[in-house]
Amino acid sequence: MSFLLRTLPLVHDWVKQVVKPGDRVLDATVGNGHDTLFLAELVGTEGTVYGFDLQEEAVSRTSELLEQAGHQAVLTAGCHSQLSQVVKEPVTAAMFNLGYLPNGDKSVITQEQTTLLALESALELLAHKGIITIMCYPGHDGGASEASAVEAWARELETPHYLVMRMSPHNPKNPAPYLIAVQKNLP
């Protein structure tokens, strides 16, 4: 059964409203490359997508997907907490899809401490009106405490310079994925 009320189309819709051709954007967890491809299509040949993943396998799956679609990205196999060593210019969007690589090694998961460091770096790089999206997965071991830490981090971002939204299923039977999105609004 497919519902209209899903987070992924919502994330894509928000990101689409902010990102323009020629922009620089960031995928902090490329995984199988779906979000990287989505971003590459938005920024086009004049733009730049920076992508990170701890696992070589994810980076090669992403390169392959991009190549098949005729797109490119600046991909780094490494921890996203180091992203400021690679990304030196403002980005209009930063996507975080936490957790483990689907159809991959489920023991490699994003970790609270490095996720928060990466979020801080992304926030610093974020352009005026830029957006950070974070898909949180509280259902696996370690996922709930990471998600809580992300929520606490986002809650501290002060209005009016940041707007934070949290979108979550209201009637899940089990801990369900949810979205936190941050938009910057400089004075």
Ligand X SMILES: C[S@@+](CC[C@H](N)C(=O)[O-])C[C@H]1O[C@@H](n2cnc3c(N)ncnc32)[C@H](O)[C@@H]1O
Count interface residues toward ligand X (CB under 6 A): 22
Among 55, 121, 133, 183, binds ligand X (CB under 6 A): 55
Among 10, 18, 86, 108, binds ligand X (CB under 6 A): 108
Of residues 184, 175, 180, 187, the one with CA closest to residue 149 = 180
Select 102 or 161, whichever has its Cβ closest to ligand X. Answer: 102
Whether 52 contacts 30, CB under 8 Å: yes
Q: How far is the CB of 121 from ligand X (least distance, A)?
A: 11
Of all residues in this chain, which one has the CB nearest to ligand X in the complex? Answer: 31
Retrieve residue 75's tokens: 């991909």
Residues 122-181 that bind ligand X (CB under 6 A): none
Among 12, 34, 140, 166, binds ligand X (CB under 6 A): 34
State how far the Cα of 111 lies from the Cα of 60, in Å rounded to an integer: 22
What are 2's strand-pairing partners? none
**What does the DSSP 8-state code read for residue 28?**
S
Calculate the dihedral angle through the C-alpha atoms of 14, 119, 31, 176, rounding to the nearest 10 degrees. Answer: -70
Retrieve residue 160's tokens: 């009016």
Residue 58 touching ligand X (CB under 6 A) = yes
Select 30 or 147, whichever has its Cβ closest to ligand X. Answer: 30
Q: Which residues bind ligand X (CB under 6 A)?
A: 29-35, 52-55, 58, 79-80, 97, 99-101, 108-110, 114
